[in-house]
Chain A
Amino acid sequence: MLPHRIEISKIVEENELVRTFVFDRRIIAEPGQFVMAWLPGKDEKPMSIANDYPFALSIAAVGPWSRAAHRLKPGKHMWVRGPYGNSYKLKGKKIILVGGGYGIAPLRFLYARARESKVDTTIIMGARNKKLLMSLPKGKNIITTDDGSAGRKGVVTDALEDLLKKEKYSCVYTCGPERMMKAVVDLCDRYKTPYQVSIERYMKCGFGICGQCAIDGKLACLDGTIFDDVSKFKEFGREARDASGRKIEE
C-alpha cells in the first residue's frame, strides 16, 4: 500500500508534549494497531492509532519527525499506510488499562471499545508530572505522578498492585515505556492475571517483511505489536535493536 495523503481537520493540544491530530475520515482498525505515518522529505514513523472514527494519531514531540509534525496546522496533510499489526483483545468483564505517559493514547481507544462491550474498566495513568498527563474519559480513573504534582505520588505499578491485591481482574492492558511495562507484566505474573502489552521496536516496513523489529524470533509489526506472553521472552525489557540491527539495551 502506498502512503495515502489525508488532511488534518483538527489538532487537540493534550499537554505540553502531546498533540492529537484528528482526520475527518474513518479507518477500519482496532485498538493497538498502528499506521506508518510519513511527512514527505522527513521520516516515516510507526504511530499507534488513537481513534478509528474520526481517525486520530496522538504524537509526542520527542524527535525531529514529531517536532515537524507539531508544526503542521489543520488543512495540512500527513501520509499514512496501514493499519498494521494485531490488536488488543477484550477478555472477560473486569479489566485494567495501565498507560505510561503518552502510552495512554491507544488505551483510550481501547476504553471506548470496552465501554461499548460493557466491560468494567479501570484506567491507571502515570506520568512524570502533572504537565505530562492526558485527558481521560469519565470513569474509574487512577492517576499517578512521579513527583506527586497530581494524583497519587509514585508509579503506576503501586496503584496496580493495590488493585490486584484486592480483587481478581480478567486482564491488564498496558502501553508505555518498556521498563514500566516489564514491571506491570511482573506484577501480573505474580498475581496470576493475564496481560496484553504493546511492544515498540525500530520499524521499517510495518508488514512483516524486513525483519527489523525482531524480538525473540517474533516480529513486533506482524505478530504484535500486542503480545500476551512476553514473560517468556529473553529480550523484553532487556534489549532491542537499532536501525542497523545491533543489539542495544532497552
Chain B
Amino acid sequence: MTNPLVLASGVWGLTGGNLVRAAKEGAGAVTSKSCSLQPRRGYGNPSVFHWDNAVINAMGLCNPGVDEMLDELRFAIKNAGVPVIASAFGNSFDDYARMCEKMRSVKPALIEIDISCPHHEPGKKVAKPFACVARDAAQVTEVSKEACGKVPLCVKLSPNVSDIGEIAKAVEGAGADAICAINSVKAMVIDVDARRPVLANKVGGLSGPAINPIAVRAVYDVRNAVEIPIIGTGGVTTGRDAIAMLMAGATAVGVGSAIAFRDRVFKRIAEEMEIFMRDKGYAKLSQIKLEE
C-alpha cells in the first residue's frame, strides 16, 4: 500500500467504478460495499443524512447480490491499482461461509465480514449482529475462515458492546487474520416538528467526526486484547485523526464518512500524516506509538 488509508465499506463502494475513483483520489486500499447472497433494495428514504458533525444512515445493506458484485469487484481489482477488500454479510453462519467461498474466487486482497450492522431489527433474521456476542462472533469467524481458503479474513466489529476486547479475542482465537473496528454507532435522530424518527428505518448508525473518540477507544481496547492487525475506522477526517488511530494501535486506517466533510480527503489526510511524521522524526508508521 502507498499509504495506510483504506476506503471503508459502505461508502461509495457499490460499484467497481466508484472503487477505482477512491483509489485515484488517493486511498491506499478500497473496500466494496457489503453484499449478500441475494440482492437487497435496502430501506426507504430518508436513509442517510448529515447530523451536525456526523452522518447517520440506515441504508439497509442495499446491494445487487454477490453475483453482480463479483463483476464490480473484478472491475475494481483490474483497474484500481490498489488492494481491493471484498466485504460480505449474511443472515446465518452458513450464509457467511457461502459468501466467502464466492468472494475468494475473484482473489481480493482481503475478505471482510460485516457482522456488526447497527440497524438490525430485533427479532428479524437479516444481518444479525454476531459481533455483539463473543461466542457467535467466534463461530461466524471460524466458518468464514475455512471458506476463505488462502484469502486472509478480516472481521468488522461493533462498538455497540460493553467489552469489544473480549469479542476481538474471540475472533482472533477463531482464526481471523485482521480486525476492522469500528462499524457505526447505533443511533436515532427524531424530528420534533414531524414527531418522527427521520430515518425510514428509525434506527441507524452514526459515523463521521463525532464518533472518532469512540473509535479510538475501541481500537485501543482491541489492541490490548489481540496481536493481529487492526484497520482502525471511525470518524477519521484529518491526518492527526489518522495518527491517533495508529497510536491507539491500528495498523491501517479506515476512512469513510470523511468524504462528506472534506474534498480530496485521502490525499489531504496522507499529506498531513507525512508532514506530521517529518516534523516529529518518524521514519516508519510502525514507530507511531503512544508514549510507554
Contact = CB atoms under 8 A, between A and B. Distances in A.
B92 to A, nearest CB: 20
B13 interface: yes
A91 interface: no
A209 B14 contact: no
Contact of A1 (B11, B20, B50, B193): B50
Given A1-B50, A244-B65, A211 B196 contact: no
**Secondary structure call for the A interface:** loop
Contacts of B20: 217
Chain B interface category by residue count = 35 or more
Interface in A27-41: 36, 38, 40-41
Contacts of A247: 64, 68
**Secondary structure call for the B interface:** loop
A207 B257 CA distance: 11
A194 interface: no
B189 A246 contact: no
B55 A209 contact: yes
Contacts of A211: 11-15, 18, 33
Interface in A1-29: 1-3, 5
Nearest to A45: B45
B64 A204 contact: no
A183 B24 CA distance: 32
B277 interface: no
B110 interface: no
Interface string A73-107: 00001010100000000000000000000000000
Interface in B219-265: 257, 259-260
B39 interface: yes
A245 interface: yes
Contact of B193 (A77, A204, A246): A77
Contact of B46 (A5, A36, A243, A245): A36
Interface residues of A, number: 35
A210 B59 contact: yes
Contacts of B33: 211, 245
B210 interface: no
A214 interface: yes
Nearest to A5: B193
Nearest to A40: B194
B276 interface: no
B49 A3 contact: yes
Interface string B53-86: 0010101001111001000000000000000000
Interface string B88-132: 000000000000000000000000000000000000000000000
B15 A243 contact: no
A44 interface: yes
A246 B198 CA distance: 26
B15 A210 contact: no
A2 B50 CA distance: 6
A38 B45 CA distance: 8
B282 interface: no
Given A36-B46, A204-B59, A212-B62, A5 B194 contact: yes
Nearest to A243: B41
Q: Looking at B12, B51, B55, B193, which has the most chain A CB atoms within 10 Å of its CB?
A: B12
B291 interface: no
Given A36-B45, A209-B11, A2 B191 contact: yes
Contacts of B46: 3, 36, 38, 44
A208 interface: yes
A245 B15 contact: yes
Nearest to B36: A244
A229 interface: no
Contacts of B49: 1-3, 36, 81, 205-206
Interface in A100-144: none
A127 B45 CA distance: 30
A214 B196 CA distance: 30
B47 interface: yes
A23 B143 CA distance: 57
Contact of A210 (B16, B57, B65, B191): B57
Contacts of B50: 1-2, 81, 207
Contacts of B260: 205, 207-209
Given A38-B45, A204-B48, A211-B33, A245 B63 contact: yes
A206 B18 CA distance: 16
A246 B14 CA distance: 10
Q: Looking at A208, A214, A219, A244, which has the most chain B CB atoms within 10 Å of its CB?
A: A244
B62 A217 contact: no
Contacts of B57: 205, 210
Contact of B198 (A3, A209, A210): A3
Interface in B7-42: 10-18, 20-21, 33, 39-42
Task: Please provide the 5 A-B residue pairs with the shortest distance between their CB atoms, ordered closest to farther.
Answer: A217-B17, A44-B45, A40-B194, A211-B12, A243-B41
5 contacts: A3-B191, A43-B45, A43-B200, A44-B44, A206-B49
